[in-house]
Amino acid sequence: MDALKPLQNQLEAILRNPTYHPPLTLLKALRNGAVYGTKVRFPHALVMVLLFRSGTLREKIHLIVKATRQHASNLARFAVLYKTSMLVMKQLNGEKEEGFQSFLAGLVGGYAVFGSGRGATSSVNQQIVIYVAARVVLAMAKLTVQPPGDNSLVGGSYGGRGGKGLFGLTEQQLEMVRRNSWPVFASLSWASVMWLFRWYPEMLQPSLRSSMTYIFANSEHWHDLRSFVYTNTTPSLPGMPAKLD
């Protein structure tokens, strides 16, 4: 171990050098997105597949790995795209950050990762985006009406009568809506949640705020090789003291 000490010291000198901080932030964001996606999806997929899916053990293992890989890779890709967009816009604006930049960066990442491509409407992507969208609605409600009231769903019924057809759309217009509704929904959901997290994190539901802190905020903070590769240094957010995890 002593023989590796000089190499560790050199690596930590690079990690502490402000010149290398922006590209290292992207690498850390990639790592955090992949790790968090794996931690969240693997136990969920394991339980759901083993309990509710038929097939051989090999087929079930394949489904678990596939869902975990997609969740982890999508969060990692989004984290890198978001951080890259933020860095580019900040540099173009003279190293100054504006309030709209987090929204635009989330819009770009949300469309590229969750709103377009062959797997855009996969069950994993739908679960992620709908979860994010639901949290955005609750956070916006808190932001609009302070203090927040009762956010629980009241009432509800199920039926099969179809929609109301209030807009009287033609078949061509309906097809356009079907084609574009998911990309728009996914992009705006991620744009909104990134804007909220950047400027009003205390409005977000605690578990979502915690996960976004892990992926996005923690990727900008480290103090040695261990906290860059293995653990995270959690920055202080409203109502959240700094800590190591």
**Mean pLDDT across 93-102:** 92
Taking every pair of Cα atoms in the chain, the longest distance, rounded to a whole number of angstroms, is: 75
With cut-offs at 50, 70 and 90, classify the pLDDT of residue 236.
low
Give me the pLDDT at residue 151, please.
36
**Mean pLDDT across 206-224:** 88
**Mean pLDDT across 200-215:** 89
With cut-offs at 50, 70 and 90, classify the pLDDT of residue 146.
very low
What is the pTM for the complete model shown? 0.69
Give yes or no for a contact between 68 and 38, defined as CB atoms under 8 angstroms apart.
yes
**Mean pLDDT across 171-186:** 85
**Mean pLDDT across 138-152:** 57
Query: What is the residue-averaged pLDDT of the chain?
Result: 83
Give yes or no for a contact between 114 and 81, defined as CB atoms under 8 angstroms apart.
no
pLDDT exceeding 90 applies to what percent of the chain?
A: 47
Give me the pLDDT at residue 93, please.
93
